[in-house]
């Protein structure tokens, strides 16, 4: 009614709209016959007796059926979990063992333990009120190092917040981690964000933000920009299984597939989103089960098997770079630590459950066993490295704690590229205020 009525009032409206409709049809036909899935052509649609042999709807390529049958979620026999080594660190099929140089393997292991050491010290420092907040990476170190080692350093990373190991693998220093957590004058982020919201252009690691899953469709945009540039780069985007419930996750998967973006979606499925177990998060076959529905090649790996994570990421990167298409990796793991320092996870899960993963299926322990079998590691080295790691972390910790806070002027800068007049006025007003009332504020930068 609305449309008809309006056309009567404005005949031009209808006339000028017609070309759009025709174009629209032609466009959809072109896509369907020329670029559509399966290479289906209209001649195939008609049988020798002139009957339609296949449906011709533009929305899907499929056959007819005469059985009224719903497709059910096959969640009891889910996508299998890809594994390279067992819990004793033995490679199960020799052909699967990645050819990682010995020094790289040792580096991966050392950084897993260094991260673990840093986590313990920073977690404790939060308990003592020395930093305001922290989130540990316990149990997920294997997903970090396995994937990071498989990437090229120029590949760009978007993370959620529990991927510090990826940054550590790339060479982000202990001082950089600590400076951020303290928000001191050496923090490249200028003390503006909560602890663990790291970022570094030098390491191609986009600054972390708290809103969950927002980085996912952003990562697709960056991947699209890479596709258009002459450089062979891809994007890897990390997120948890809880974040996958956000609308932005849906946006990201769909945009990546439709726009052919060279991106690796890396899901850390650790069983919990704060207190929410996965059975309250989804009812399908995890996150990997969603990939094919978006037209995304997908795989599920043992996230506590660093070699399996490595192999899957290497293969995913090849697909992303060479075929300009998205790949989804779901790494199955377990969040051994509390969600954050603001969370006591014993309120919603048993200590026994946590102990099981910590003692019998830990990525660090498994990697250590693997290195020992290869003769690359032993008790002596372990002891020396643990002492060294602890010393390094403590020294960086003390350096960071002694540094003055980032200056208060950082409140006003970087809001825009330039400072607009109204912000200049507000900054000046604050400066005048500080002249008179400065003694009531924690002006550490002036005390150095």
Partner 1 sequence: MSSIRSIARHLKPGLRVLGFNKGVLGSVRNAAHFTYFPDTVSEAQGETTRMNLFQSVNSALDTALATDSTAVIFGEDVGFGGVFRCTIGLQDKHGKDRVFNTPLCEQGIAAFGIGLAAAGATAIAEIQFADYIFPAFDQIVNEAAKFRYRSGGLFNCGKLTIRAPCSAVGHGALYHSQSPEAFFAHVPGIKVVIPRGPIKAKGLLLACIRDPNPCIFFEPKVLYRSAVEEVPVSDYTETIGKADVLVEGDDVTLIGWGTQVHVLREVADLAAERLNVSCEVIDLVSILPWDRDTVFKSVCKTGRCLISHEAPLTGGFGAELAASIQTDCFLNLEAPVQRVTGHDTPFPHVHEPFYMPTKWRCLEAVKKLVNY
Interface with partner 1 (CB under 8 A), residue total 63
What are 239's two structure tokens?
């997120």
Give me the catalytic one of 164, 243, 244, 340.
340
Counting Cβ atoms within 10 Å, is residue 168 exposed (0-12), middle (13-18) or buried (19+)? buried
Distance CA 25, CA 13 (A): 19
Residue in 89, 146, 195, 199 binding partner 1, rule: CB under 8 A? 199
Closest CA to 301 of 271, 325, 334, 330: 330
Closest CA to 407 of 427, 436, 389, 426: 427
- For position 9 contacting partner 1 by CB under 8 A, the verdict is yes
Q: How far is the CB of 228 from partner 1 (least distance, A)?
A: 6
Q: Judged by CB under 8 A, which stretch of 100-108, 221-229, 363-371, 395-403 contacts partner 1?
A: 221-229
- For position 20 contacting partner 1 by CB under 8 A, the verdict is yes
In the 8-state DSSP scheme, what is residue 377?
A: -
Residue in 53, 73, 258, 394 binding partner 1, rule: CB under 8 A? 258
- For position 80 contacting partner 1 by CB under 8 A, the verdict is no
Q: Which is nearer to partner 1, 227 or 368 (by Cβ)?
A: 227
Q: How far is CA 417 from the centre of its chain?
A: 28
Active site residue 339: yes
- For position 211 contacting partner 1 by CB under 8 A, the verdict is yes
Applying the rule CB under 8 A, the residues between 141 and 170 that interact with partner 1 are 156
Q: Judged by CB under 8 A, which stretch of 132-140, 250-258, 330-338, 365-373 contacts partner 1?
A: 250-258
Q: Which is nearer to partner 1, 61 or 207 (by Cβ)?
A: 207
- What does the radius of gyration of the chain's CA atoms come to, in whole angstroms? 27
Q: Is 336:345 a contact under the CB 8 Å cutoff?
A: no
Applying the rule CB under 8 A, the residues between 356 and 415 that interact with partner 1 are 410, 413-415
Q: How far is the CB of 168 from partner 1 (least distance, A)?
A: 18
Helix (H, G, I), strand (E, B) or coil at 366: helix
Distance CA 296, CA 247 (A): 17
Give me the catalytic one of 144, 203, 338, 339.
339
Active site residue 359: no
Q: What are the residues whose beta carbons fall under 8 Å from the beta carbon of 383, sequence distance 6 or more?
A: none
β-pairing verdict for 263-269 and 327-332: parallel
Residue in 58, 292, 420, 438 binding partner 1, rule: CB under 8 A? 420
Q: Which is nearer to partner 1, 3 or 95 (by Cβ)?
A: 3
Q: Which is nearer to partner 1, 20 or 440 (by Cβ)?
A: 20
What DSSP element (H or E) covers 322? helix 306-323
Q: Judged by CB under 8 A, which stretch of 144-152, 356-364, 373-381, 421-429 contacts partner 1?
A: 421-429
What are 333's two structure tokens?
């793991």
Closest CA to 143 of 34, 3, 268: 268
Active site residue 350: no
- For position 445 contacting partner 1 by CB under 8 A, the verdict is no
Active site residue 340: yes
- For position 8 contacting partner 1 by CB under 8 A, the verdict is no
Give me the catalytic one of 124, 280, 409, 424.
124
- Residue carrying structure tokens 């075929």: 323
Q: How far is CA 404 from the centre of its chain?
A: 32
Longest dimension (CA), the chain: 94
Closest CA to 293 of 27, 60, 55, 58: 60
Positions marked catalytic: 124, 210, 339-340
- The footprint of partner 1 (CB under 8 A) covers 2-3, 6-7, 9-10, 12-13, 16-17, 20, 23-24, 27, 156, 187-190, 192-193, 197, 199-201, 206-207, 209, 211, 214, 216-226, 228-229, 247-248, 250-252, 254-255, 258-259, 410, 413-418, 420-423
């Amino acid at each position: 009614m609305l449309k008809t009525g309006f056309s009567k009032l404005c005949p031009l409206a209808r006339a000028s709209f017609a070309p759009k409709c025709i174009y629209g049809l032609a466009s959809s036909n072109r896509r369907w016959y020329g670029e559509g899935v399966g290479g289906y052509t209209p001649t195939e649609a008609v049988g020798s007796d002139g009957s339609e042999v296949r449906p011709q709807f533009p929305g899907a390529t499929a056959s007819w059926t005469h059985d009224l049958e719903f497709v059910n979620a096959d969640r009891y026999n889910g996508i299998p979990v890809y594994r390279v080594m067992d819990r004793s660190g033995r490679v199960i099929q020799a052909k699967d063992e990645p050819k990682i140089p010995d020094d790289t393997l040792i580096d991966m292991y050392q950084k897993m333990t260094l991260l673990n050491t840093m986590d313990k010290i920073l977690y404790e420092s939060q308990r003592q009120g020395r930093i305001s907040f922290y989130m540990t990476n316990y149990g997920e170190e294997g997903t970090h190092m396995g994937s990071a080692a498989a990437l090229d350093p120029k590949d760009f990373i978007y993370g959620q917040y529990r991927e510090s190991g990826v940054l550590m693998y790339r060479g982000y220093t202990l001082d950089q981690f600590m400076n951020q957590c303290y928000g001191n004058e050496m923090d490249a982020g200028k003390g503006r964000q909560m602890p663990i919201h790291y970022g570094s252009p030098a390491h191609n690691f986009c600054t972390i933000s708290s809103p969950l899953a927002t980085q996912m469709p952003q990562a697709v945009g960056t991947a699209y920009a890479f596709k258009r540039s002459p450089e062979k780069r891809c994007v890897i985007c990390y997120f948890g299984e809880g974040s996958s419930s956000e609308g932005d996750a849906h946006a990201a998967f769909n945009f990546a597939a439709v726009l052919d973006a060279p991106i690796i979606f890396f899901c850390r499925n650790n069983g919990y989103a704060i207190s929410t177990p996965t059975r309250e998060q989804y009812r399908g076959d995890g996150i990997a089960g969603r990939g094919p529905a978006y037209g995304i090649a997908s795989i599920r790996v043992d996230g506590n098997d660093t070699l399996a994570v490595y192999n899957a990421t290497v293969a995913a990167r090849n697909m992303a770079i060479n075929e300009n298409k998205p790949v989804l990796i779901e790494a199955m793991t377990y969040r051994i630590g509390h969600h954050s320092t603001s969370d006591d996870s014993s309120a919603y899960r048993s200590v026994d459950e946590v102990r099981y993963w910590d003692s019998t299926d830990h990525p660090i322990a498994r990697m250590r066993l693997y290195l020992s079998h290869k003769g690359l590691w032993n008790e002596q080295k372990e002891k020396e490295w643990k002492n060294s790691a602890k010393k390094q972390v403590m020294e960086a910790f003390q350096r960071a704690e002694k540094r003055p806070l980032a200056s208060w002027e950082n409140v006003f800068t970087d809001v825009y590229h330039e400072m607009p007049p109204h912000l200049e006025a507000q900054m000046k007003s604050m400066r005048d205020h500080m002249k008179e009332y400065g003694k009531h504020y924690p002006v550490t930068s002036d005390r150095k």
